[in-house]
Structures are given as structure tokens and as C-alpha cells.
A and B are shown apart, each in its own frame.
Chain A
Amino acid sequence: MPETVRDYIGAITDVVQTFWQGLSVTLSYMLRRPITIQYPDRTEKRVADMLPARYRGFLEVDLAVCTGCLACARACPIDVIKIAVDKDPGNPKQRVITQFDIDESKCMFCGLCVEPCPTGAIAHTREFESTVRAVENLVFRWVPDAAKPVPFYRPVKGQDAPRAPAGSLVRAYLASQVWAAPVPDWAAPAAGRDKG
């Protein structure tokens, strides 16, 4: 507590003075350019295209260069990636991928699956917008039809795998999906879920 009248007045002047110091900083922002951008539709480019190249968004798989080594599925600490491999019935020497599912709703985008991939088939993209009607639609099925399996890719020595441009596949995949799509047939019926 102030002891003298002078201390008391001094405290009030201090408060008023420092208060105006702070307010002058606040007021100076009236004259500065705002740093915020208006997501999603008032930006010059799509927000996904403004992100840095290393951004860890949706995973994308280029099955054309997938060797079926399962390194990504093993690296995942929370079992997001589900891969099934089989022998080609027509050609027993050829092995094929019959299922390659990534549950993007469960994925924590840590990037551990990308690092062991020998050909760069699995990679993060800059796409991140994941609004869908049913959460099952976030399971990305990179082999859409188990009846049409994809053969293993055999790496050629001294030659980079011909991978599709990063992000092109996931954009095509997302374009083929509709956010308001109904729950897929393969999903187990959940009690009380809106089937719309």
C-alpha cells in the first residue's frame, strides 16, 4: 500500500503512463498491414498449394512403383496402413497387391512410413481438407477393386522409380470422391449412424 500522498499520486501517474504506452502499441496496429488470410475462399491460390513442400498432409501411394515390401505398414506405430498381398492366379511367379488401405482418419501424420519406402511410392502430400459425410470415407483404398490386383514393382538397378508427381494421385483420388458420399458398402453398419 502507498504510504504517502506522493506515492499514491505517483502510482496513479505510473499506471496512466504505462497504460498509454501499451495502448499506443495497440493503436499503431491500425496502420499496419494485417497478417491474417481468409480461409478458404479469399486466398489467391488454394491453401494446399501455399504450404511448404515437406508438409505432412494426406498420404498418397503410387502403386505403379510399390514393391509390396510392407516396410511402411511395419513402421506405422498405430497400424493405419493395411496391405494384403497374394499370388497372381494366372502367373504364380508374379505377386500382387490386393488391398492397400490407409485410414486417414486415424493417421497422425508422423511421417515414419515414408522414410523406409525404397521407391518413394508412399509419400505425404499437401492436401489436408478432410471433411466427409461419413468417417469411413477417409479410409483411402488405393486398390479400389480386389478383383483387379496390382502387380509388384521390380526396382531397376541404377534407375529411379518412375513415380507420378507428388500430390497428383491424391488430388485425383479426392476428385473421385464426394464429401457428401454415403457410407460405403464395405463398412460395418454402426448403431445409430445416419446412413445418408
Chain B
Amino acid sequence: MAEPVERRILRRTSPSDEEIVINFGPQHPSTHGVIDFVTQTNGEVIRRSIPDIGYLHRGLEKIGETVSYPGYMPFTDRIDYLAAMLANEGYAMAVERLLKVEVPPRAKYLRAIAGELCRISNHWVAVGTMASDIGASTPLTHALREREAINDLLEELCGARLTFNYARIGGVSFDAPEGWREKILRYLDHLDSYIQEWDRLISLNQIYVKRLAKVAVISREKAIAYGLCGPNLRGSGISWDTRRDLAYGAYPEFKFDVPVGQGKMGATGDCWDRYAVRVLEMLESSKIVRQALDKLPEGEIMAKVARRVRPEPGEAMARVESARGAMCYYVVSDGSEKAYRVRVRTGSFMAMGIIEEMSQGLMIADLIALIASLDVVAPEIDR
């Protein structure tokens, strides 16, 4: 048995009489899931905060060794339930590389459309809950309403609102339904104009900005050293996006910008930058979906894959840009119907590592801003 974090922190720091160790979590509404932040504080000032993770560990990597290759697909939904489309795609890509299957172009485009819609819906939750954590409760309801509209679109495509299970090894499960294109375009038109209303509602609100600007500034060097990825890395001003720099699927054919934090409200890499990157990314995703809908090729949506998937012994890795950064799947096959090993590398887990250092000297309220701005999802940390 590992020593509990509380005891470890007490032993290591021997808090003085003024300091106390509190468990911030695991059932706290602003920890974004079941995570415990063991926090050593002196009054309102945090000396250090150590995330104690594992409450949502379900052994999803081990499950990958006990079910068949196609049967693991619904479990990838549960790794990151706010961006399940992207998690599906990553696993499908890894197994396709094992099988050396080429995905039909139409399936690649459908994956890109569904994935980008899913990214928009995830970012709505991220920015909405961030506002709610800071203390503004109205924007969350607006963000969830926007997300519902995307959920409706994805429900029409694949029949589920949260755990989509849409990608298949070698393609996707459903073709675009009748009239889907028009509905998406109508929503995207609404989104592009709604962002302005959103900015008026919360993004540029001075109270909100002052709570986030210059708080928990993550420098470029630190972001790279701690292995941050996705919007958290881009918030620190580093222009790196798996979709552009290690393009996969249909992404080489789209033109889009990669928004990075520019320190508009104070310092590059502060909480507001990470927030702003997410808002801007929604508009970029909207661009990608429009291009994909225009170029959507005709044809098959599934490559020829045997029903019993039995790859040659070997290993494969696939990396996708999930909503929380680069998500890697590493699959090892021993030639049987079940994987020998499935390994998942997720963005939320990497973001947990930086909290201990960034929390030093923060106020308790600013720790909440830091956690919210990293947009972590507990099941993705623990898997």
C-alpha cells in the first residue's frame, strides 16, 4: 500500500502551527470530477497542493486485454466522456495501423466532422464550467444549451448523445443522415455569431478577466518541461497542434489557424489565455467542419475488415488531437483476438503534474481558477 498523500505531505513539509492540511475534494463541485487536492495552506495562501488521483480508476487499459478489438471501442468512450468521438478515433487509428488498413476518404471526413463538432461541444463545457467555477453561474447554462444543439446533431448521426461509439476499425458506423449538412451549417452560422454574444456575456467581463489574468502563469519552458498538451500548451504561447504538425486522417486537406495565448490580459500563459484559446478553437473547428462538409467525398464508409479482428503480432501507436491535447493509443498485438496491451496517454493526466508547482503561493480561490483553466476530466486522468 502506498502511503496516503495526506501523510506524505505532512511528513515532507512538517507544517507549522499556522498551517493546516485540507482535502480539497474528492467530492468538491469545482474539482471537475472525483479528484482530491491535498492542500497545505497558511490561511488563504497555499503552500502547496498535491493532486491525489485514482478515485475514478476503472482499469480501462486492462479491459483492453480482456475484450476483442472491436469490443473495446465503447470503452474508449468512457476514457474521455466529454470528447468521446476523438477518443474513438484514436483507438480506431491505432488498430488500423496494426492491421494496415486504409480508411476510405469519406469515413475520414465523417470522422473529422464528428470529431470537430465534439470538440466544440467539449469546449462549451470547458468554458462554461470555468465561468461557473469563478462564480458566474449564468454562462454555464448558456454553454450547456449550445452543447445540447451539438448533441442533437451527433445523436442524429450515431444514436447517442454522450458515449457515441461512432468510429469503427476501418471506418465509421453510420453515414451522414438526410439533411444533416444543412442542420450543421445552420448551427455553425449561429455559433460564429453567438461567440460575440458570449464574449459580451463573460469573456470580456472585467470581474472575470481580473480573476484570471496573471494568475498561475505557466511559462513556455515550464509547459514543455511538464509535458502539457493541447489548449494548455497553446495557452502558453506554443503553436503546436497534432492536427497540423502531425496531420492524420483528413486534416492535411483543411486550412485552419492554431490559436495561441498572446497575453492580451496580462501575461502569456495565464488562466485567461488558456480560456481564450478554447473560445478561439471553437471558431477554428467551425472552419474545419465547413471545409469538410464542402469537400465531403462520396463512397464507402467502411474498409474491408474481417469480423474477427486478428492483427499480426506487432505494435502500433496513434496520436490524435483530443479536446484535451494529444491523446495517444499504443496497442500491442500477440496475434490473437484480444490485444496484448492497450496503453492510453491523455492530456488531463499530464496537466495534473504541474499543479503542485503552480499552486505554490496561490490563493485558494486561484487554485480553482487554475484547475478550471487546465480543463481536466477525472476519468481521463485515472482511466
Where the two chains meet, the residues of A that have a C-beta atom closer than 8 Å to any C-beta of B are 11, 14-15, 17-19, 21-22, 24-26, 35, 51-56, 71, 75-77, 108-112, 115-116, 124
Contact = CB atoms under 8 A, between A and B. Distances in A.
Contacts of B138: 22, 26
A19 B205 contact: yes
Nearest to B136: A22
Dominant secondary structure at the B interface: helix
B149 to A, nearest CB: 9
A108 B71 CA distance: 12
A18 B71 contact: no
A18 B197 CA distance: 12
A126 to B, nearest CB: 9
13 contacts: A18-B204, A18-B206, A18-B207, A19-B207, A21-B200, A25-B200, A35-B148, A75-B71, A76-B71, A77-B71, A77-B72, A77-B74, A109-B160
Nearest to B71: A77
B116 to A, nearest CB: 20
Contact of B202 (A22, A51, A75, A112): A22
A53 to B, nearest CB: 8
B159 A54 contact: yes
Interface string B67-92: 11011111101000000000000000
B5 to A, nearest CB: 33
A26 B201 contact: yes
Interface of B: 67-68, 70-75, 77, 138, 145, 148, 155-160, 163, 165, 173-174, 177, 197, 200-202, 204-207, 307
A15 B206 contact: yes
Contacts of B72: 77
A57 to B, nearest CB: 8
Contacts of A108: 74, 163
Contacts of B74: 77, 108, 110, 112
B197 to A, nearest CB: 6
B177 A77 contact: no
Contacts of B205: 18-19, 21-22
Contacts of B201: 21-22, 25-26
B156 A52 contact: yes
Given A35-B145, A77-B72, A54 B206 contact: no
A22 B200 contact: yes
A40 to B, nearest CB: 17
A164 B163 CA distance: 28
Contacts of A54: 155-159, 174, 177
A77 B72 CA distance: 7
B112 to A, nearest CB: 20
